[in-house]
Amino acid sequence: MARRIFRAIIQLTSAAAFTFLVIFLLDRNYRVLPNAIHGYMPSHHPGLVVTDVTIATCSSLNIFSSCDLDPKKWHRLDKDLYLGKTWISSAYIFVSRKHEEELADGDKVVMDISTGRLQPQPKGESDDPWEKRPNGLWIKRSAKKQASDSSSAVTDIDVLYGDDAVEARDGWAITGTPLLLKTGSKLPCVQLTIRRGPHHERKKPVPRINDNGRFKILQIADLHLSTGVGKCREAVPDTYNGQKCEADPRTLDFVTRVLDDEKPDFVVLSGDQVNGDTAPDASTAIFKWAHLLIERKLPYAAIFGNHDDEKTMSREAQMALMESLPYSMSAAGPVDVDGVGNYYVEILARGKSDHSALTIYFFDTHAYSSNERKYPGYDWVKPNQIEWFKKTATSLKANHERYTHHHMDISFIHIPMTEYANYTFPRLGNWLEGVTAPVFNSGFHDALVEQGIVMVSAGHDHCNDYCSLSMQNDQNPTPAMWMCYAGGAGFGGYAGYGDFIRRLRVFEVDMNLARIKTWKRLEYGNTASRVDEQIIIDGGKPEPLPIPNNQEQNLEKPPGVDKPPGADSPPGKVAPPGSA
């Protein structure tokens, strides 16, 4: 018996070792493991200069080919130029770097990079020559003294994907034409992007109430951007400018128009910016929306939805990237609290005051239930997130009381709370699909109300765009908190309920009256109007929904709801059917 057990252990160990070895060898050449394992993002190395660049291609049909070069000389940029979408080929950029103080006589520094079939034209007789590399890559290197000190010296390299790729990072620029790869019509082209000179840390913006006492926030929900232009889903109309509808260009045109019309002071991206399934390179998708805000010098903050990190860069890596971008107020939040992106932003009072006038809380509402059998559907805000929020809000109260006007607290989330599904609450706007809130009610709503949050706004359910007023409880029907949806903005996400038109939500805060007004802007049709404009906060308190002509509030059951859930589910209980 002992020998059999020993023999079984040996066989299992051997099988495990063999499997590990096969996966390791395959992953070394073809990156078969998820991108998140590799920290799918470029490395920034202060003080390093690029001394050489090349491209290595490997094929499963050629056992002697390798996508690994000498690690003592080369650093591999862990982005497969074919995005892992081909059966037999992979290709990677390799970069050789040195610290400036380690440069020896004769060492060359890369001063310029170009792409194309033909050698770039020299700018003068004394110009350093262009050197050819694979796939249409050309580099120009200099051995001149002090070359590494030049602001033209190349200090980092990355790749982005698609004809619509843009840069959003300080000091970075796309080189021009794509690399010469046989990507075919189904894969986006590969764009080389470089940074010149040292990496500079930009100071975080300090958002402040305007001199007229007002502050406008634009909420952008569910962009669902891709690597490449993406495909439109349930678009109204299904063509765009007389041509085929392409998801990302149309989505970004819409956002651009509203940015220029509304001229917000602050932008909130409330999750699912990245359509994970169609965005294997998340940075390409992130830079598309970030570029629009950065060129307008708009401060912004982002949280994650359930799709942002599906089959692409991890939340931690995406947040690190967003934190580094100009005008970003995004933050990973405490490492000992569940999720990535639990943080707050203070909007200071007008003038030169250091006092906060408005506090905006952001939460990671996670993705899918960790206990699908008992609580199917979506995850919930965890107890340590709620505890962090309570402690933080309590600690800020003393400072907020110094503000001479009425300080207000608001919040943004991605997945709605269970209470959103209570159709007996007064509301204004469209409820076209079932509320896909967590089945388990963790008490998040009650914690927000307890700490004085006057309004919260979500994304996630693209075709719901209503604002609903929750009540303290059945015995005390006093307004507790407004709960809004933004409505979906992106054509890469679904919208198949009643010819739903993409939209964005605007919040205008007036600190003179401690008032918050909200409305929506449409992508098609009545594009100039403020749709469902309403005052939700007045005098710093939730404002009841006015009922015109003494009519009763319409409390008919919307689609997908069987009976009132939400508030009927006390914290720690499962919401009734129809809530998710």
- Which pTM does this prediction carry? 0.88
Does residue 355 sit in helix, strand or coil? coil
Euclidean distance between CA atoms 231 and 225, whole angstroms: 10
Tokens 């950029």, located at residue: 93
Give the lowest-confidence range in 155-169, 321-335, 341-355, 540-554: 540-554
pLDDT at position 311 is: 86
Band the pLDDT of 489: cuts 50, 70, 90: very high
Euclidean distance between CA atoms 269 and 225, whole angstroms: 12
Comparing 87 with 175, the larger pLDDT belongs to 175
Mean per-residue pLDDT, 504-514: 98
Judge whether residue 246 has pLDDT over 90. Answer: yes
Name the amino acid, one letter, at 272.
D
Give the DSSP letter of residue 169: S
Contact status, residue 544 vs residue 472, Cβ threshold 8 Å: no
pLDDT at position 20 is: 59
Tens digits of per-residue pLDDT, 277-292? 999 999 999 999 999 9
pLDDT at position 39 is: 44
Widest distance between CA atoms in the chain: 88
Tokens 């007023």, located at residue: 469
Tens digits of per-residue pLDDT, 60-115? 887 777 888 999 999 999 999 999 888 888 999 999 999 888 888 888 999 999 99
Identify the sign of the CA torsion 396, 402, 403, 406: positive
Contact partners, residue 51, CB within 8 Å, separation at least 6: 96, 97, 98, 103, 107, 108, 109, 110, 141
What are the structure tokens assigned to 493, written together? Answer: 């996400």
pLDDT at position 126 is: 59
Average pLDDT, the chain: 88
What is the distance, to the nearest Å, from the Cα of residue 340 to the centroid of all Cα atoms in its chain? 11
Band the pLDDT of 410: cuts 50, 70, 90: very high
Comparing 136 with 568, the larger pLDDT belongs to 136
- For the chain, what's the residue count? 580
Band the pLDDT of 128: cuts 50, 70, 90: confident
Judge whether residue 23 has pLDDT over 60. Answer: no
pLDDT at position 331 is: 97
pLDDT at position 42 is: 45
Band the pLDDT of 16: cuts 50, 70, 90: low
pLDDT at position 292 is: 98
Euclidean distance between CA atoms 573 and 580, whole angstroms: 14
Euclidean distance between CA atoms 382 and 374, whole angstroms: 16
Secondary structure element (H or E) that encloses residue 578, with its range: none
